[in-house]
Amino acid sequence: MNPLRSLWDGFGQAVWLDYIERELVTGGGLQRLVAADGVRGVTSNPSIFHQAITGGEAYGEAIDALLAERPWLSTSELYEALAIEDIRAAADVLGPVYEQSEGGDGFVSLEVSPRLAADTAGTVDEARRLWREVARPNLMIKVPATPAGLPAVEQLIADGINVNVTLMFSLGHYEAVAAAYLRGLARAAEPAWVASVASFFVSRVDTAVDAELEALDTAEALALRGRAAVANAGLAYRRFREIFHGDAFAALRRRGARVQRPLWASTSTKNPSYPDVKYVEELVAPETVNTIPTATLDAYRDHGRPRNALAEVADASMAELDRIRRLGVDIDRVTEQLQVEGVAAFARSFDQLMAALEAARLLRAGS
């Protein structure tokens, strides 16, 4: 059996694609991934849109058409028009998954501007506007798990807007996000029709922690390379089970509310000495999502070995991280810095995308 399909059929883990591009959607590629591999969702971010829109000629005709019809469009309006077309088209492909799952899956994510990461009111306003513009029930608005983002998450959930909370790197981030979700659900008029995922970043944790372990250059430190990220995710998964299968969620569950599934993000392998499917194979667990880049998706289809891996080790994760801490690696500091860097990286990608679109707009305006 296809290992990708086995993740859902055998273990209750949804596979989402961490990529969006117009030809993939309009040319039938996404539909084939849904039909053959059981892909159940799509995520996007400013880096992905920058890669897609500036990576070739796929968007040239669309830009020409938009500017011919509406030459007054600003650069940000041009970007938004392109992105919304892609998101709507992908949401329509995944519509049957959404309907079959009765609103539990089949989502496509669109991120608010990373420039709003420290602006609660601005995030809420933009999220509401994008929700209205896309006008698809299987849209998820992506909001970063920053101090300003968390109250925005609560308000959007209360509004009945699906939210993908992104850029989480630590157990503390996860607990704050889950709490915001619960507060929002408690205020929602119809909690049964609100969905959310908590996007927990993985491989970047190993990259950062491994660098500090290598700097120590002891046998014990070097033996712990490649262990922090999965252990860190294991802590979040264990806390997920405690929160959403315990008393804290019981009353909301009776009102039909859905659990906020952990979503494993940044699951491509950065270190070439590690298995290319490490952050898929080691993160399999029920009631979770793994959003997978195309190359990693292809690799796992080819040689993945599905097993209930994360649930088996989640309870031992604290001991694993304690071993790393005893060597002097401050994991809390590392994960806080990773969130800061993640917000900054998305902002850079967004600015680069805006610059490329501005150049294209000016070129066409002058031609």
- Show which residues are catalytic: 142
| Structure tokens that stand for 204 in this block | 């970047």
- DSSP string across 36-51: HH-EEEE---HHHHHH
Residue type, 280: V
Burial group, residue 273, by CB count within 10 angstroms (0-12, 13-18, 19+) = exposed
Q: How far apart are CA 189 and CA 49, in angstroms?
A: 34
Helix/strand/coil for 173: helix
Secondary structure, 3-state, 64-102: HHHHHHCCCCCHHHHHHHHHHHHHHHHHHHCHHHHHHCC
Q: To the nearest 10°, report the CA torsion of 245, 247, 253, 255.
A: 180
Characterize 26-51 residue by residue with b for buried, 16 or more Cβ atoms within 10 angstroms of its Cβ, and e for exposed.
beeebbebbeebbbbbbbbbbbbbbb
Contacts 24+ apart (CB under 8 A), 356-359: 356/50, 356/53, 356/54, 357/53, 357/63, 357/75, 357/78, 357/79, 358/75
CA atoms within 13 Å, Cβ hemisphere of 87 = 29
Please give the helix or strand (H or E) that residue 134 lies within, else none.
Answer: helix 120-134
Among 131, 297, 327, 292, which Cα is nearest to 215's? 327
Q: How far apart are CA 154 and CA 183, in angstroms?
A: 6
Q: How far apart are CA 106 and CA 94, in angstroms?
A: 5
